[in-house]
Chains A and B, each alone.
Chain A
């Protein structure tokens, strides 16, 4: 299921040397953070909304079977069809069958992370369909044949010049555009034809509403709406955890989603769809299908990582992550990058195969401080590390060193003696400079920065000296 070769360490090393990527990431870093901060500050009850959103999700997850049945009943009452898919393969089969029965040739897609998760495009293309991603960012990476590097800004790793190169290569007969306005306009014209040609429109579902049997998408471009309105068949792909009880609950999430994601007070378009077109409707799809994808979610529900099921895919965690900001999304090796990916990728695709993802985290906790549904991301990453150790996945050298340290730490006399020795040794090595420029066995550290020297006395010695040995 992984989309990349090698491990995180090797991919991250390549990413740090990629000049174009570093330029694109340099543009990215400050914007989302500043915009989110001001969008959040204007709401007096943002913290209360976060708490409420987390409570709503917890309540739904605690009775997920009941809410899903209510939702499915309401969809069917509105004339839609609900399909449950236990895994990615079954989800692909269901969607292929709907497209086959519709006699489809062209498929337009709005942005859907679930469709990335289930690797839908390669399956549709292999079956001979023309598949067009219509979100501008998704369209760019489709042309580049790359996975998304960010869940809401999938082409954030591309510079304007790279987009211009791609468009020039893929849109024959059109003059090269170099401005952002020109590129956006070019995509508008090229994709317009596809929207009107499409037989099937596939979108994600940001939220599913049990009260009305509706699916909700939020977009800025209007591409998801054109995909789902102009095609004969609308297919919604969504995770089973996306259901909310009522429209009032939806309002809680709509107030925090855009603010957390792009720092807008609201996205441009919020569309609530309920079933296929009705008698007398001049437009809208004739068929409306919802594919509810489990793919490991129901198992997560009973375990230590259930809080992760509250995730609304806003991207705030990666926008605030120093590791993501340095290496970009592709280094994470699958469709979900950043802190949420560091948890989801090992859970979905194997803790051994993605051993280094949860370990490539500084545990600084910025992600969880901005998460709109209060997922304790840093704690979950720590739990994942401990699960990895329990499963015997820690490399032998690291395991031996940790065991040795653990043994020494339980012998106070020996521990303090070694600490005094080490402290004085490092002090001596640092000399007058007060810092250590090279250190045998610690080249990975000293290769790129100096090691600050200790003062020469251990903490305990200083404590006793300053406090006169008082307890």
Chain B
């Protein structure tokens, strides 16, 4: 069996080399961030995200639709289940399922934000399809500012506290891009062409 073959080959090599495992280094000291929100916005903007600040979740439908209107007519809208109870217009088709080829826009709820890198952390689950993060042309992400954490390590701590690792965890830093043709950065490769952040609180 190959599993044994590989492991035996590793053990043989290590024994032969007579290496004493050096042990893991201590954790990286946490770097203090003076103004986490300012840092988050600075980085997210650098990654080509636009943003606006909202006083409460109730403002999400109006603000999300206003931004999407500047991008064209989305038709149906994919919305994360926790946000579907908000006051969306009655004539708008709102879908909480997985995204399809027809999906143009999605509104999602972030698990956390990372100040250090201006990153949004999205997690999979019954109420948060992963396809919403990659299939739409336009992506609105809602972040409760109480979920803004200083760095990745703080996200891992929060995850460990929830008890289970989600199937997929997406760290998102702006709309998709590529530099594969003559190293010219082009926004809008395979994922969203634009990402708009609604920062609540």
Contacts and interface: CB of A to CB of B under 8 A. Distances in A.
Indicate the size class of the contact surface on chain A.
35 or more
Contacts of A358: none
B125 interface: yes
* Interface core residue of A59, A69, A134 (most chain B CB under 10 Å): A59
A136 B177 CA distance: 10
Given A69-B7, A269-B171, A303-B17, A192 B101 contact: yes
A181 interface: yes
Given A59-B23, A192-B101, A245-B24, A272 B2 contact: no
B110 to A, nearest CB: 14
B137 to A, nearest CB: 10
* Interface core residue of A24, A247, A267 (most chain B CB under 10 Å): A247
Given A55-B25, A62-B19, A63-B21, A282 B171 contact: no
Interface string B158-177: 01000001111111111111
Given A24-B182, A275-B167, A86 B172 contact: no
A272 B134 contact: no
Contacts of A49: 28
B10 interface: yes
Contacts of A83: 2
Interface stretch (B62-70, B85-93, B183-191): B183-191
Interface string A5-31: 000000000000000000010011001
Contacts of A270: 119, 170-171
Contacts of A367: none
* Interface core residue of B20, B166, B175 (most chain A CB under 10 Å): B166
A298 B27 contact: no
Contacts of A212: 165
Contact of B129 (A44, A266, A282, A300): A282
A106 interface: no
Contacts of B43: 265
Given A69-B7, A303-B17, A251 B156 contact: yes
Interface in A172-204: 180-181, 183-185, 187-188, 191-192, 195-196
Interface string B105-122: 000000000000101000
Contact of A136 (B151, B165, B174, B181): B181
A221 B131 contact: no
Interface string A390-410: 000000000000000000000
Given A153-B183, A184-B189, A268 B28 contact: no
A220 B131 contact: no
Interface string B1-33: 011011101111110110111111101100100
B106 to A, nearest CB: 12
A281 B126 contact: yes
Nearest to B119: A266
Interface of A: 24, 27-28, 31-32, 44-45, 48-49, 52, 55-56, 58-59, 62-65, 68-69, 72, 78, 82-86, 90, 134-137, 140, 153-156, 158-160, 163, 180-181, 183-185, 187-188, 191-192, 195-196, 212-214, 220-223, 225-226, 229-230, 240, 245-252, 254, 262, 265-278, 280-284, 292, 294, 298-303, 306
30 contacts: A56-B25, A59-B24, A62-B19, A65-B10, A84-B3, A134-B190, A137-B180, A153-B179, A155-B181, A156-B183, A180-B184, A184-B181, A184-B189, A214-B169, A221-B176, A225-B170, A226-B135, A229-B130, A240-B6, A247-B152, A247-B156, A248-B28, A266-B119, A271-B168, A271-B170, A274-B167, A280-B126, A282-B98, A298-B12, A299-B13
